[in-house]
Amino acid sequence: MLNTIDKRLLKEVADLHEIPQGAYNIRKNGEKHSRNTTANIDIQTKEDKPGINITIKPNTKNESVHIPVILSESMEDLVYNTFEIGEYSNVVIVAGCGIHNSTNEDSGHDGVHEFFIRRGAKVKYIEKHFGDGSGGGKRVLNPTTIIEIEEDGTAELELVQIEGVDSTRRDTIVRLHKNARLIVSERLLTYFDQTAESIITVELLGDGSTAQVISRSVAKDNSKQVFHLNMRGHCECRGHIQCDSIIMHNAQVSAIPEISALNEGAQLVHEAAIGRIASEQLTKLMCLGLTEQEAEETILQGFLK
Amino acid sequence: MLELKNVSVSGLNDDIEIVNDVNLTLEDKKIYVVTGPNGGGKTSLAKAIMGIYPISNGYISLDGEDITKLTITGRAQKGIGYAFQAPPRFKGLHVRDLLTIASGNNDEDKAYSLLADVGLCAQDYIDRELNASFSGGELKRVEIATILARELKVALFDEPEAGIDLWSFQRLTETFKTLNEVSNTTIVIISHQERILRLADEVILICGGKITDVTGPDKILGEIDYFTEPGRYCSNCFVRK
């Protein structure tokens, strides 16, 4: 049974109000809560370590897999999930972790997700992180995502963390082969004394591969954020990193870009900007009748949308 | 009716008055075009009316109510609007979002017709993010649409023609005319364009922070040739010598 807290966590991380349609695996407090497989999507528990293997048959179209993790007790949870995305399939994978911690003990989930996106397959991967609960214990999330995109494959990643996670270190490593395509859209909000570190490494290995990484963040109060965005072009390829942060109060943000061209045909661009909300933007919205606070919220919400 | 009494705006160091002791009465349902040399104080005057620039002296009233101490938000809520000369871009906000904030509702049909009024194809623009992909002219037209979206007592437009192409400009002048016909809004347009000047009930000439003349469009336009002859006018203001 899912209780009210569980349902709230599921709603926040996976937009789920009830048990989802199609394939899913819900992990609650370190154990399998429920699972469903379909003719094309199989989910098996790993035998050597905690976690699951998700296997999507070739040519599976327009199906989705939900694999949310919810923690409503104080505990350290660690999982290894492996995704095998068959050739020419087109699927949406919704992951994410919600932590409700009302205790004074820390609660954490470290997930290692490994993807094999086979030839011509297309994956949209949505990962949302959320925390709540009134206890003094920290809510900690350290996800690692390793993605191999084979020839003509596409991965679109939406990585979102906008509420209640005290400490996070996110490692994302993507390797692209011939004509593979990657689009990463990262959204991050930190406040109070939260800390967040995001390390994204993109290896463009095959001719014609393209990657676009767009990271937007807002740092409030005394929070700290660090971004290491690293792109390496080994071939005829194109890559673009855009890292934009709004800084407020006593927060600190570091954006550390690195682009490396290891071949004459590599075209790589990096753009990074950190700054407070532009006063003209606030003034413009106030001229439309919003208060300064409403204007600020509108700008931040839009920025992180 | 908007009234300004002895309004002054100081420069950054308080040593010069960029708007100097201006008295002005702007009536409902009239179009005022404010013109004059660059740096004369036109934008500063408009920003002082909107509350963006604080005034160092004088008072401002709207329909008899003193609004001198109201904030930008307070004046906006009373029915004053200002279309920026160089409006800001917003990463993450879409055209639709700004129009919704401006009009206070998300009436799709109204948004479409507002965009048409400023010469933008709604289908192409309504869901576009107001980011760096917007040209200056496109941004400017969205800006004007956000003012048209509101039911205002006083609408201030700061050089609305700047950066706008010929075809859209023609459309824009029609839009001002229509606004004037269908509403009681006091329309104030800062402009140097003959076509805009011709819309004016009154043309207000500002230079050196002062109002130097209030006249009709014919007189101003009729005197352009006279003024452009060397030695005929003060180089800092259009006061006839």
ipTM of the complex: 0.94
pLDDT at A135: 76
Contact A258, A286 (CB under 8 A): no
- Domain membership of residue B70 (yes or no) is yes
Residues of A in contact with B79 (CB under 8 A): none
Say how many CB pairs under 8 Å bridge A and B.
60
- Domain membership of residue B94 (yes or no) is yes
- Domain membership of residue B158 (yes or no) is yes
**CATH code, domain carrying B201:** 3.40.50.300
- Domain membership of residue B239 (yes or no) is no
A36: closest CA of chain B, how far (Å): 37
Query: Percentage of chain A surpassing pLDDT 70?
Result: 98
Global pTM?
0.88
**pLDDT tens column, A240-296:** 999 999 999 999 999 998 999 999 999 999 999 999 999 999 999 999 999 999 999
- CB contact (8 A) between residue A286 and residue B87: no
Those of residues 71-110 in B touching chain A at CB distance below 8 A are 71-73, 76-77, 81-82, 84, 87-88, 90-94, 97-98, 101-102, 104
Cα A31 to Cα A41: distance, rounded to the nearest angstrom: 21
- Domain membership of residue B234 (yes or no) is no
Average pLDDT over residues A132-148: 88
Q: Which residue of B has its CA nearest to A292?
A: B73
Is residue B201 scored above 80 in pLDDT? yes
Per-residue b or e along A183-206, where b marks 16 or more CB atoms closer than 10 Å to that residue's CB: bbbbbbbbbeebbbbbbbbbbbbb
- Count how many Cα atoms sit within 13 Å of the Cα of residue A53 in the half-sphere of its side chain: 9
Query: Percentage of chain B surpassing pLDDT 70?
Result: 93
- Domain membership of residue B240 (yes or no) is no
Q: Which residue of B has its CA nearest to A305?
A: B92
A2 touches chain B (CB under 8 A): no
Identify the three-state secondary structure at position B182. helix
The two tokens of residue B168 are 């859209």
User: Nearest by CB to A305, which of B72, B84, B92?
Assistant: B92
- CB contact (8 A) between residue B93 and residue A304: no
Instruction: Quote the longest CA-to-CA distance of chain A.
Output: 62
Range(s) of the domain holding residue B189:
2-228
Cα A86 to Cα A122: distance, rounded to the nearest angstrom: 9
* Domains of chain B: total: 1
- CB contact (8 A) between residue A284 and residue B50: no
Contact B162, B85 (CB under 8 A): yes
A215: closest CA of chain B, how far (Å): 12
pLDDT at A118: 98
- CB contact (8 A) between residue A284 and residue B88: yes
Residues of A in contact with B101 (CB under 8 A): 285, 288-290, 298
Cα B29 to Cα A133: distance, rounded to the nearest angstrom: 57
> Which residue of B90, B98, B131 to mutate against A (max A Cβ within 10 Å)?
B90
A287 touches chain B (CB under 8 A): yes
- Domain membership of residue B66 (yes or no) is yes
pLDDT bracket for residue A122 (50, 70, 90): very high
Average pLDDT over residues B26-38: 95
